[in-house]
Amino acid sequence: MCCFPSHCRSMRRTMLVMQLLRGAVEHAGSSSRCGVEPLISAVRGISSSSQQFSNFGRTHPSSCTDTDHPKVLITGGLGQLGVGLAKLLRRRFGKNNVILSDIRKPPNHVYHNGPFIFSDILDYKNLREIVVNNNISWLVHYSAVLSAVGESNVTLAKEVNITGLHNILDIATEHGLRVFVPSTIGAFGPSSPRDPTPDLCVQRPQTIYGVSKVHAELMGEYYHHRYGLDFRCLRYPGIISADSQPGGGTTDYAVQIFHAAVKTGCFECNLRSDTRLPMMYIDDCLRATLEILEAPADTLVRRTYNINAMSFTPHDLIQEIQKVLPDLKVTYNVDPVRQAIADGWPMALEDSAARRDWGWKHEYDLQELVQTMLTHITTGNQLAQAY
């Protein structure tokens, strides 16, 4: 359904692109450090295997050598965040040193842009073979079932988020990997302090997603203390991206509204207009991930950190988008499941420890987020129409 008269739409888009491109801001990356610490202990027995996987470093010559750079495996890499992270890590470490994996078939542009492999994190033996045969040294564990989907399929969420996590931690320990597991604002609950939420406080989430992420934080930290696993974890806010879709979470509205604003000029919001949540633009999130992965171990006072950028309500976001697209019309059809989840989540994360220990600094605030998202989506749509 469209709210703009069709004859006005293309002219509006052209004006919007020009206006946004004029205001676009460039953001630079950060410095490079890397290395892997030795580990001392394996936690599951190793059995022999006959199945062979190709070594991507050999089949696709790279400009970077394996001795200079870590060899990274990203699980659940076809979700909202994985492809962007692979792009960032490949720029830093070389295309063939970063392997994306998932249980879904990749789109052509992903398949042709670097190594991709099937990996089901519930298949321990298959995961171990991939790690061994590709000489993996860093593992970024993105596979998950997010908050809203988790409430509709608790069994799947338990399997992927808890059993899958156990496989990841055991394999990482067994093979001396550095492992990054994202946590979330969803790891807190209604009894946590909400504005701002400190790194250390009561964590009693009321979703299976949140429970599984608290479990991941605690298991990772336990493996770090008990076995020396190089476990690193960030609690991400809701992440906002232009060219990848969210995977069934509570913060999804803050991505969907941008596409609707540009395409139809109408949006139906599934959270109340005053629901304040912490949010972050994807570039900040992925840069933070690279930065904590590269941080020297002795700078990490803890292994799980909050990171914060901005907080807003649907009302705040709509007002900011309407500065560029004044005709955007928003209606509300509140989803009781998502609303109940959001009502128990932090409004802002307290992240001074990340800023102090490894130099975390966000670059995008609400105004820049809106400019950047509308620019990406509008230019992307225009390119798609041109071809």
Ligand X SMILES: NC(=O)c1ccc[n+]([C@@H]2O[C@H](COP(=O)([O-])OP(=O)(O)OC[C@H]3O[C@@H](n4cnc5c(N)ncnc54)[C@H](O)[C@@H]3O)[C@@H](O)[C@H]2O)c1
Residue ranges binding ligand THR (CB under 6 A): 146-147, 184-186, 209, 238, 249-251
Is 209 an annotated catalytic residue? yes
Place of tokens 């042709």: 112
Instruction: Select from ligand THR, ligand X, none the partner in contact with residue 250, using the beta carbon and a kind-dependent cut-off of 5 to 8 Å.
Output: ligand THR
Give the dihedral of Cα atoms 324, 325, 326, 327; nearest 10 deg.
Answer: 180
Rounded least distance, CB 129 to ligand X, Å: 15
Place of tokens 């605690």: 218
CB closer to ligand X out of 102 and 351: 102
The Cα–Cα gap between 380 and 385 comes to 9
- Structure tokens given for 91: 């720029």
Judged by the rule CB under 6 A, the positions of this chain that interact with ligand X are 75-76, 78-82, 102-104, 119-122, 142-144, 146, 160, 164, 182, 184, 236, 238-239, 246-247, 249, 251
CB closer to ligand THR out of 13 and 235: 235
Instruction: Select from ligand X, ligand THR, none the partner in contact with residue 78, using the beta carbon and a kind-dependent cut-off of 5 to 8 Å.
Output: ligand X
Q: Which of 201, 227, 207, 219 is nearest to 342 (CA)?
A: 207
User: Between the CA of residue 67 and those of 71, 139, 246, what are the distances in Å?
Assistant: 9, 17, 35
Q: How many CB atoms lie within 10 A of CB 355?
A: 14
CB closer to ligand X out of 220 and 249: 249
Rounded least distance, CB 367 to ligand THR, Å: 22
Q: Which of 111, 142, 209, 253 is catalytic?
A: 209
Distance of CA 333 to the CA centre of its chain: 27
CB closer to ligand THR out of 209 and 267: 209
Q: How many CB atoms lie within 10 A of CB 77?
A: 26
Instruction: Select from ligand THR, ligand X, none the partner in contact with residue 76, using the beta carbon and a kind-dependent cut-off of 5 to 8 Å.
Output: ligand X
Rounded least distance, CB 24 to ligand X, Å: 23
Rounded least distance, CB 150 to ligand THR, Å: 8
- Structure tokens given for 76: 């659940």
Q: Which of 279, 287, 276 is nearest to 240 (CA)?
A: 279
Rounded least distance, CB 307 to ligand X, Å: 10
CB closer to ligand X out of 62 and 192: 192
Instruction: Select from ligand THR, ligand X, none the partner in contact with residue 147, using the beta carbon and a kind-dependent cut-off of 5 to 8 Å.
Output: ligand THR
User: Which residue has the CB atom at the shortest distance from ligand X?
Assistant: 79
Cβ neighbours of residue 98 under 8 Å, at least 6 residues apart? 72, 74, 86, 89, 90, 114, 115
What three-state secondary structure class fits 269? Answer: strand
Active site residues: 209
